[in-house]
Structure 1
């Protein structure tokens, strides 16, 4: 698949497959086309050349900013996708409340408008909104980039738990190699411009066994790969 905006080529020779239940991370420097590729996968753009085939029945997307509707209370924001699917109000509110509680949001928070919530609580609501529609594909666009280390760790755990329960596949983009190693089953490294996939890394260790020590050690190994260093414009390592 190829894509361009006008005369500018932004993606070239993209061959990407996400299997059911699998988590795939796209990493690479700014401007290499990661967000464009995610928008193509979401159906928000049509490829200039080639095609996208999807057997996923229900996709949901979570952005770097929570993007909650400011005129709706938190509970109604979480239930928004269910409302669009014409789920009866009692059923959608019950499901939204149950998910919110699992995400650490209490009834007081659910009754508030987004402006009255902390950034972390808004991110929890956004994650609950994504899972409320029972997606078999979850698209994450730098969803945790703006959070501090503690909140990231909490949301990583919530994501892993809900993903395992729902059997959801994940396609995520991130600049953070540690985040990719913590969450993904397969890591694709992009370089540009135009953006292309230049390396692939499979992670066999189960997500539940990837503690901080494991992530730090694997990241140190990962960043030594010549393809990784070239993609992020890092200098070659000195010969030992």
Structure 2
């Protein structure tokens, strides 16, 4: 696929830099965006970073993003944002969650958006669904089918406690491609190769594959994520670092 990906605002400290809560939308959207691009490229897709870092106003940022997106013949445009408005800075034990926007019910981006919010919800976030919005500039002006992802809420303590940019990015990539990105392994000696007892699998003894979807200081949070991943059909193991 050819995919345009961008963080939706100017950088922190500039005009139109997005929502600020316990975490900052602009910073985290860029963290997620960079990881999404890295993983998609690792899976063999062509990806263009259409993020704007020098907009002079909110409208200017949007116009420049769309200009970058429309300069490529892409299959999909992905706009990464973080939500605000929960006003739950102390935490109530519930996440406010993830949602995505598309231009119309007939948008070719719809099935991708549905899979993405489902994958993010599998991490433990409330699934707020895929919604239609014809007023959002990016959805209204890009040539390729577009979606806007609101990953989670910057002003919800429970969302922030669950969030990390790598697992969020991995969920987005899985929603787009149906594949889990696997980090390339370094070459290992026979002594370092992963084995089960004294047995090795032919063709596999020099490969070690690891996928990480979260890292937590609180073990209870790790166990909670493991249970949710298993419930969603994923194998999950906890490793103490």
Q: Kindly indicate which of the two structures has a greater share of residues assigned to helix.
A: 1
State the TM-score, normalizing by the size of structure 2. 0.27
Q: Which protein, 1 or 2, shows the higher relative CO under an 8 Å CA cutoff with sep ≥ 6?
A: 1
State the TM-score, normalizing by the size of structure 1. 0.27
